[in-house]
């Protein structure tokens, strides 16, 4: 028997909605159709699978007479099951706070018999992944959340701007390779201060609604022989803007970097010492024949349609993860067009074998890239464009850890001015050398 019992009031940021409430088997329910109309939800009823899908900010899937629902693919258990009567789906009042907070990304809670729905959240939760050589601290948040990531006085600091969240979701206890977290609230920001064991490097990777703070521990291997690759050269000028050629800037940096690392006791090989053309495959062969422990390729960036783009970024080998990474990848790989036909390609089987051989060094390459990028930002004052992944031809043919560094944008007037300044280039050399030395020390 269904008895019209009372009415349920919903207060959504000052807008009051009243829904009929039904008492069935001593439990209170409301009609799903009424909720859809009042709150302007999108819905779809799958008659074959008997599933109701509700959508606004997120997607919630509900099955009648089943206590489990799906929210964005994650399963949650309700106190009472939704029920179907006379072809109408009814939702238990006891679970409306969970369902609506998920659908609207807002705080939802019962107070004095009224369901209060407050300000929309943009931080949803915290998740951990702890493995023997990896610790990942994931902050689930709005894809548009603004953040800044840096290292200050030995601490890795992640700042989120204009956060809206429930304090009870915050987890400050250390786990795995993250020794501890100190969370600091401020006016319009939230800071996470991370401390890692053994002063390990940390990286941040954004994937949709997830901000993944990752710490990895790598197998130790001695770093002694280093190959420095001055990008482009000869008939391949690289990026050209304002009368400045990439091939000239990176040759100067590479030669000075070779001298600096030699002074520090490394065995250094440089792919070119003059304005000469070298095929990308030849550069990799130099490193392989030397049985090098590390390969670093130096470049300048360019964005001809966006002159405001500036700063440094460091790449390691993998499939490009963003439109910009794919753009840079295509630009640096375009040097192949300068190669002669008999030297341009490699047999398919050789490519596959080389590609497989390189994958074993991806984690080490990522570690080195983090050290170098951090050093460039701190010592040179360059805007931090981050550590990224792309499928560079010159990297994928190496049998060793390898990175490619973009030290600034020739198409940006401020960066270009710096790249013509010998004092600034000396800072770049010092920063790259410092990053490489930190990486090498981590493998002693």
pTM score of the predicted model: 0.54
Given a cut of 50, whether residue 94 has pLDDT beyond it is yes
CATH of domain 225-441: 3.40.630.40
Provide the pLDDT for residue 373. 94
Nearest alpha carbon to residue 10 among 122, 124, 121, 99: 99
Average pLDDT, the chain: 84
Same fold flag, 123-216 and 225-441: no
| Lowest mean pLDDT across 1-5, 233-237, 313-317 | 1-5
- CATH 2.130.10.10 matches 123-216: no
Say how far apart CA 29 and CA 26 lie, in whole Å.
10
Say how far apart CA 86 and CA 63 lie, in whole Å.
15
Contact status, residue 60 vs residue 71, Cβ threshold 8 Å: yes
Q: Calculate what percentage of the chain has a pLDDT beyond 70.
A: 86
| 333 confidence band (pLDDT: 50, 70, 90) | low
Given a cut of 70, whether residue 140 has pLDDT beyond it is yes
Given a cut of 80, whether residue 3 has pLDDT beyond it is no
| 329 confidence band (pLDDT: 50, 70, 90) | low
| CA angle at 21 for the pair 18 and 22, rounded to the nearest 5° | 165
Angle between helix 32-39 and helix 96-104 axes, rounded to 10 deg: 30
Residues 183-194 have a mean pLDDT of: 91
Provide the pLDDT for residue 321. 46
Nearest alpha carbon to residue 78 among 6, 7, 23, 27: 27
Given a cut of 80, whether residue 6 has pLDDT beyond it is no
> What are the residue ranges spanned by the domains of the chain?
3-120, 123-216, 225-441
Residues 271-291 have a mean pLDDT of: 87
- Which CATH superfamily includes the segment(s) 3-120? Copper amine oxidase-like, N-terminal domain (3.30.457.10)
Query: Any long-range contacts for 64-71 (C-beta under 8 Å, 24+ apart)?
Result: 64/89, 69/95, 69/99, 71/102
Given a cut of 80, whether residue 365 has pLDDT beyond it is yes
Q: What is the pLDDT of residues 344-357, one digit of tens each?
A: 444 333 433 344 34
């Amino acid at each position: 028997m269904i008895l019209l019992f009372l009415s349920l009031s919903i207060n959504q940021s000052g807008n009051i909605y009243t829904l009929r409430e039904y008492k069935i088997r001593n439990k209170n329910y409301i009609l799903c159709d009424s909720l859809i109309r009042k709150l302007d939800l999108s819905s779809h009823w799958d008659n074959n699978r008997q599933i109701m899908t509700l959508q606004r900010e997120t997607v919630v899937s509900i099955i009648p007479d089943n206590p489990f629902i799906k929210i964005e693919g994650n399963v949650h258990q309700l106190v009472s099951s939704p029920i179907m009567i006379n072809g109408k789906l009814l939702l238990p009042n006891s679970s409306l706070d969970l369902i609506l907070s998920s659908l609207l990304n807002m705080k939802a809670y019962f107070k004095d018999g009224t369901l209060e729905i407050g300000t929309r959240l943009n931080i949803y939760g915290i998740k951990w992944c702890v493995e023997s050589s990896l610790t990942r601290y994931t902050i689930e948040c709005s894809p548009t959340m603004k953040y800044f990531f840096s290292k200050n006085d030995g601490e890795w600091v992640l700042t989120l701007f204009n956060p809206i969240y429930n304090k009870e979701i915050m987890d400050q206890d250390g786990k795995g390779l993250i020794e501890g977290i100190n969370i600091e609230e401020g006016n319009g920001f939230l800071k996470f201060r991370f401390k890692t064991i053994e002063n390990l490097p940390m990286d941040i990777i954004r994937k949709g609604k997830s901000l993944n703070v990752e710490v990895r521990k790598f197998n130790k291997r001695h770093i002694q022989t280093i190959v420095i690759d001055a990008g482009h050269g000869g008939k391949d000028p690289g990026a050209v803007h304002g009368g400045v050629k990439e091939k000239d800037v990176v040759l100067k940096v590479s030669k000075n970097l070779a001298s600096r690392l030699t002074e520090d006791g490394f065995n250094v090989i440089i792919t070119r010492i003059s304005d000469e053309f070298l095929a990308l495959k030849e550069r990799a062969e130099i490193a392989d024949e030397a049985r090098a422990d590390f390969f670093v390729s130096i470049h300048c960036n360019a964005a001809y349609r966006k002159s405001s783009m500036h700063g440094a970024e460091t790449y390691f080998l993998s499939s490009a993860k963003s439109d910009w990474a794919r753009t840079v990848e295509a630009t640096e790989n375009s040097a192949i067009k300068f190669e002669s036909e008999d030297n341009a390609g490699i047999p398919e089987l050789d490519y596959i074998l080389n590609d497989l051989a390189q994958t074993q060094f991806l984690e080490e390459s990522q570690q080195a890239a983090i050290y170098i990028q951090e050093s460039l930002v701190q010592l040179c004052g360059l805007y931090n464009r981050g550590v990224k992944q792309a499928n560079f031809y010159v990297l994928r043919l190496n049998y060793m850890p390898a990175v490619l560094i973009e030290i600034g944008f020739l198409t940006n007037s401020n960066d270009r001015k710096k790249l013509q300044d010998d004092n600034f280039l000396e800072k770049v050399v010092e920063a790259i050398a410092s990053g490489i030395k930190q990486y090498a020390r981590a493998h002693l």
